[in-house]
Chain A
Amino acid sequence: MKITRSWLEDYLDISAKTEEICHELTMAGLEVDEVSKINKDDLIDIDLTPNRSDCLSVYGIARELNIINEKYKKKPKEDNSSSFNFCENKKINFIIEDKVVCPRYSYMYLKNISTSYNLPENINIRLKHAGINLIHPIVDLLNYVMLDFGQPMHAYDADKISGDISIRFAKKDEMIKALDGNEYILSDENIIITDSNKIISLAGIIGSESSAVTSKTKNIIVESAFFDPTFISK
């Protein structure tokens, strides 16, 4: 995972040199592979082991550093929330066929998003350094929040979805054409999300091409959910 020092400094007071924090991370089991200089910042590449998904975000690394050495003090939270007037309380029916695999599912409906809207430049720069392509302001923002806090989310083009949405296990040999352009054959252990006539995503992993947000998308359904990790990891 690649994160910049300046992003960590959003959360922590860091007076030490980058080499020092990298050494501390490495000795705590978060092995730093490489540090590269970019502009006036340092890009830290951390080779995370699979048991440390709690550190798969900038916030997670900052939390770990604060625990490793208390001299990295947490910064007080800034409240710079502002209202967002794209949101509409549109009722969409969600049918969760098995509560065990998806204990929590939430969504937000966003309408009439201007596609010419640009995110603040520093967000775009951070995404670029993390190796994430810009697609659409809302998708970019979701990716940014995922890098920041570690909660993955997904956006659907609302105009490409029809009828009720349901969450269920796939049937054996069902197919999904994913938004990376590949087709995947599913097993009955995969969790999928469907609308009334097609699969719109493989839960927690990848969306389908048929419901993907593009640069022209105006209306979006944002999904944030918790799926049982034992099924997602299969």
Chain B
Amino acid sequence: MKALYIDKEVSFSNLKSIINIFLKSFFEREDLKIRFRPSYFPFTEPSAEVDIEYIDSKGNKSWLEILGCGMVHPNVLDMAKIDSSLYSGYAFGLGVERLAMLRLGITDLRLFYENDLRFLKQFQRI
């Protein structure tokens, strides 16, 4: 899943807040700890990776990388004939299966592709 938002006066603050809102509502946890770590992607500058805090099976706290994001590189906007001196934007991308696995406690990615109704029917409420 990818998101791209372009408008006048879009800043990294908008990106940070939308990701915070999205992750907290997706995991239904207001106290979810989220951190942004500088990274590099060719089409965004600056870029960041986002980690969430989780507690592993041994009870230790650690961070799990969950998505990549950044401010759309001005050259990308210019190539799409959008005036980068007026417009800016943010983008982020994440794997839906990965997120669903975390949210629902599914341990094997392949289950999503087997079209087994016994599996699929368990998630009617979501």
Contacts and interface: CB of A to CB of B under 8 A. Distances in A.
A28 B36 CA distance: 10
A218 to B, nearest CB: 44
Contacts, number: 16
B40 A52 contact: yes
Contacts of A42: none
Interface string B22-57: 000000000000010111100000000000000000
B38 to A, nearest CB: 3
B40 A31 contact: no
A29 interface: yes
Main secondary structure of the interface of B (DSSP, over half): strand
A27 B37 CA distance: 5
A51 interface: yes
Contact of B40 (A26, A27, A28, A49): A49
Interface string A47-91: 001111000000000000000000000000000000000000000
Contacts of B35: 27
B6 to A, nearest CB: 23
A127 B35 CA distance: 35
A31 B40 CA distance: 11
Contacts of B39: 29, 31, 49
Task: Report the 3 A-B pairs with minimum CB-CB distance, sorted nearest first.
Answer: A49-B40, A29-B38, A51-B40
Interface of B: 35, 37-40
Interface of A: 26-29, 31, 49-52
